Amino acid sequence: MEDYENYTYVEYGDVEENYAKATVRTETLHVVSVVVYSVSFVLGLLGNGAVVWVTACKSKRTKNSVWLLNLATADFVFVLFLPFSIDYVLRDFHWEYGLVLCKLNSFVAVMNMYASVLFLTILSVDRYVSLAHADWCRRRWLSRRPLVVCCCTWASSAALSLPTLIFRDIGHFQDKVHCYNNFSLHDRDAAAMRHTVMVAVRTAVGFLLPFSAICTTGILLVLKVKRSDGAVRVSSFSKMVSAVILAFFLCWAPFHTLSLMELFVHTSRSGYLDGVLRTGFPLATSLAFFNSCINPVLYVFLHKKVRLILKRACLEITKNSIREINHSISASETSLVEDLPYNLTEMPVDSATP
């Protein structure tokens, strides 16, 4: 996903020319990336893990819980691979883990982006249909359909991410091993064409089309609420979904904008554009990655039911832990008594000698 993750033009073969400049200019950006990646890993692992646990084990199975479960699963799997990116930056972009993990790490990142935006689109469309056409939704929606939709969404996300498995490669440059997009090191025209197609598909399917669908359903829902004179009300869950959607597009918009700007490197090699991309991509990528840990925070702050479920779950865990500790203490005391050679009350008493 990160065409500029190593902040070089290695996709186009200009390694010798640009590597030294990139190393000097981006030392501070490396530190920022490591800090943001680390925070995203810790918060994302704990937050999304909690959401997966609550939606899968502690809440009633509904369409909304299924959507949130899959959305949290996508973020959870993504943050599991973040330590590889952290280590890559800390080693000054030296990849130690081979070709398979190079491809897999980037594949998971891209699939997370597609899965997240597709499930957010589904959430938005389902929210509109459920509120604006409630009767039709109750008649037509089958109990098994959410699972079918989820399977199709994951399959589509994996299919859209396949170019990453194809083009991601490792190469030796300046005594280091880089994990990069090898569109073609020898044919610059082929590289430009493949790069353009991949960015166009990623921007359209991963951002513009979902954003258009979400905006359309959002506007239609607002109009429906205004015309209903109070008959249709927006729940706290809908407000939470709106916040999650807004956070996603705010976090990913800079990355997609810079990806489109990057296409101009094929026709214009200006120093200004080069500097903007080298400075912007690390920050945009860090912001995009940070989105993986934002959703659980929004769930807790914006939805009372989520807070209540988490509170009950934490109390249940605490009670079970105390119960197990008490049981262990009681078992230990019983075992200690049973191990005594004889009862103290049965000990012989020495008689006094005359």
Dump pLDDT digits (tens) for 192-205: 888 889 999 999 99
For the range 156-162, what are the long-range contacts, defined as Cβ-Cβ under 8 Å and sequence gap of 24 or more? 156/114, 156/118, 157/74, 157/111, 157/114, 157/115, 157/118, 158/111, 160/110, 160/111, 160/114, 160/201, 160/202, 160/205, 160/206, 161/107, 161/110, 161/111, 161/114
Q: What domains can be seen in the chain, in order of their start residue? A: 10-321 (1.20.1070.10)
Q: What average pLDDT does the structure give for the chain? A: 79
Cα separation, 354 vs 352, whole angstroms = 7
Strand partners, 169: 180
Select from 116, 56, 41 the least CA-distant residue to 293. 41
Q: Tell the residue number behind the tokens 């929210």, with chain if given.
A: 127
pTM (2 decimals)? 0.79
CA distance 231 to 225: 8
pLDDT in the model for residue 163: 92
Q: pLDDT of 136-188, one tens digit each? A: 666 565 445 788 899 999 999 999 999 999 999 998 888 889 898 888 767 77
Lowest mean pLDDT among 70-84, 119-133, 309-323: 309-323
In the prediction, which pLDDT does 143 show? 47
Token representation of residue 280: 């912007």
Q: Which two tokens stand for residue 229?
A: 């004179």
Looking only at the bridges linking them, the beta strands covering 168-173 and 176-181 are antiparallel
Q: pLDDT, tens digit, for every residue of 275-332?
A: 788 888 888 999 999 999 998 888 777 666 666 666 666 666 666 667 777 666 666 6
Enumerate residues 6+ apart whose C-beta is below 8 A from 227. Answer: none
| Six token digits for residue 101 | 């993990």
Q: How confident is the model at residue 15 (pLDDT cuts 50, 70, 90)?
A: very low
For 228-238, the pLDDT digits (tens) are 766 666 667 77
Q: In the predicted model, is pLDDT for residue 29 greater than 90?
A: no
pLDDT at 351: 46
- Of residues 256 and 187, more confidently modeled: 256
- 292 to 74, 108, 115, 286, 296: CA distances (angstroms): 9, 13, 12, 10, 9
pLDDT score recorded for residue 17: 39
**Mean pLDDT throughout 121-135?**
80
pLDDT on residue 129: 82
Does residue 85 surpass a pLDDT of 70? yes
- Nearest 5°: CA angle at 116, between 86 and 163? 70
Q: What average pLDDT does the segment 203-223 reach?
A: 90
